[in-house]
A and B are shown apart, each in its own frame.
Chain A
Amino acid sequence: MKRFLVALVSVLVGAGVVAGVAVFASATKGETPLLVAEPAGTVDTPEGPVNAANLELYVYPNSSDAVPGPTQGVNALYASQGWPFYWPSTTLQVPANSLVTVTIYQYDSGGRVFNPFWAKVHGTVDGTMTVNGKTVTEVDPTKVAHTFTVHQYPESGQPYLFVSVPLPDLGSNQVGNANPYSDTPKEVTFTFRTGEPGTYVWNCEFPCGDQYQEFGGPMQQRGWMSGTLEVV
């Protein structure tokens, strides 16, 4: 009987430890709230009418009173680090088989992107984007602040989706270190087409973090410069 009780208690303690770890991991995972693209009617295309949706994002150089940045779960620990971040969320949802127009307001400074591939526009309709209303296919690789780059797990059976746009920088004297931010952000707009439903990841390809090669900090933590794109 005593042996049975010892075994039972051991199993219960083990299960408790596993459950505790799972609860802790879930509570601190730091995923930002879901941001759903707003439906925008239909658009006529050569293949027929296609549903459209709009998504609006902001990139800030650091958190402020007005824009606190990600604070969910473990992100609360990083709130005072002065990291750049996408706002209002990095967990994005867009409709399937649609044209999605994304507008990003970019408030940060930048520099040279190591790989010039990321200074070019990839995967958008016509391979273009607009910067403050001007249509371009690439930007100066020495003046890139961030990128918005969607990629995926190719063996998952979902349609291939690769979209990458560079976000031009603001001059460092134009960037506010805290609230208020610059009054003249770079406004980048692009449209891409989604296929069947799937889940993708996206991140910034410009090293804008801290530590080694500036690939630490916000580059390695969901909710700052990376997230998920769900096509539903």
Chain B
Amino acid sequence: MADTMVPAEEPEAPTNRPPAMHRLREWLQRRYVRHILIITVVVGFLLLPLAWLMLAAMNQSGGPASSIMEDIQQTIFVFTLVSIPITAFVFAVLLYSLFGWKGKSGDVPPNNDNPAIRTNAVAVITWTVSSSLLAAFLVVWGLIELADITADSYGSTSATGQPKTEDALVVNVTGQQWVWTFEYPQYDKVATDILYLPKDRPVLFNVTSVDVIHNFWAVELGIKIDANPGAITQTGVTPNKEGTFNVRCAELCGLHHAYMETKIDVMPAETFESFMRESGAGRTR
């Protein structure tokens, strides 16, 4: 009777490479790794309030006052949060490199140098994959938000584009050293030095300049576009918050560029209509 022959297991080739988990544990127990990780966590927590500080700074003047600005703020907040661990790690390596191996007075250089750095497949794969994922996340997020903002702000229409809805308010914006003026063609061409807007009504801006290049920046509404002499550029927004906000020139344009600012007054639609009537203009279109 022949015994069933079970092939004997081949003995594992002798190796000095410990299992991956063991190697990782061993790596984490190294002094410099522990120190860098601790510094990363500490610096990360110190930087964390930065994300909220940036939001607070942006909201100081009452914004956001449109869905566009809400999208922009959300993007800045998320991108800041994502960048904090990376910044913290870079600073941790930098700080440890600066101070961890700092020689003391009287030290003499070692006779033999440290062993040469060899490639490490795990490290290479880790940083390549994590960087790619992170970059992909930023690109995808950015593209989605950009598409959203573009759709909301007439960003993809040509300079001859018409309002997307019949109800849209058209405002002709003129930049001139160093004052903005606003004309309302649907209201007998009423012209003002303050930008008056109704809440929750889409607005199309036709922007131009009569002298040099300016940049029409409605800060809390999240729109910003060049005002070029001899050309009309277009942007749009739907204000969703009542209040007083700011228009600034964002293109260095001469002596009083720093003063080329004015107010935006977002008011209820009925108040806006009354204001236009008081300014001597019934709605014509």
Contacts and interface: CB of A to CB of B under 8 A. Distances in A.
Interface of A: 114-117, 120, 122, 149, 151-155, 160, 162, 164, 201, 203, 205, 207, 212-213, 215, 219-222, 226
B212 A215 contact: yes
A205 B258 contact: no
B210 A155 contact: no
Contacts of B61: 155
Interface SS, B side: mixed
B281 to A, nearest CB: 14
B246 A154 contact: yes
24 contacts: A114-B210, A115-B181, A115-B210, A117-B183, A117-B191, A117-B193, A151-B259, A152-B259, A155-B61, A155-B261, A160-B194, A164-B179, A164-B193, A201-B259, A203-B177, A203-B178, A203-B255, A203-B256, A207-B211, A213-B229, A215-B177, A215-B211, A219-B254, A226-B255
Given A151-B178, A203-B256, A160 B212 contact: no
Interface of B: 61, 174, 176-179, 181, 183, 191, 193-194, 210-212, 229, 246, 254-256, 258-259, 261-263
Nearest to B264: A154
A215 B259 contact: no
B182 to A, nearest CB: 9
Contacts of A207: 211
A152 B211 CA distance: 20
Given A115-B181, A215-B211, A222-B255, A205 B176 contact: yes
A65 B61 CA distance: 51
A153 B179 CA distance: 11
Nearest to A155: B246
Contacts of B229: 213
B255 A219 contact: yes
A226 B246 contact: no
B255 A122 contact: no
Nearest to B260: A151
A149 B261 contact: no
Given A151-B259, A201-B178, 17 more contacts: A114-B176, A117-B191, A120-B191, A151-B193, A152-B261, A153-B261, A154-B246, A154-B261, A154-B262, A155-B61, A201-B256, A203-B255, A205-B176, A213-B211, A215-B211, A215-B254, A226-B255
Contacts of A122: 193
Interface SS, A side: mixed
A205 B255 contact: no
B212 A212 contact: yes
A205 B179 contact: yes
Nearest to B254: A220
Contacts of B193: 117, 122, 151, 162, 164
A142 to B, nearest CB: 15
Contacts of A116: 191
A160 B261 CA distance: 11
A119 to B, nearest CB: 11
Name which of A116, A117, A219 has the most chain B CB atoms within 10 A of its CB. Answer: A117
Contacts of B179: 149, 151, 164, 205
Given A154-B246, A154-B263, A155-B261, A115 B178 contact: no
A149 B177 CA distance: 11
A117 B179 CA distance: 11
Contacts of A212: 212
Nearest to B177: A215
A152 B180 CA distance: 12
A57 B258 CA distance: 26
Contacts of A160: 194, 263
A119 B228 CA distance: 22
Nearest to B258: A153
Contacts of B210: 114-115
Nearest to A160: B263
B12 to A, nearest CB: 63
A221 B259 CA distance: 15
Nearest to B259: A201
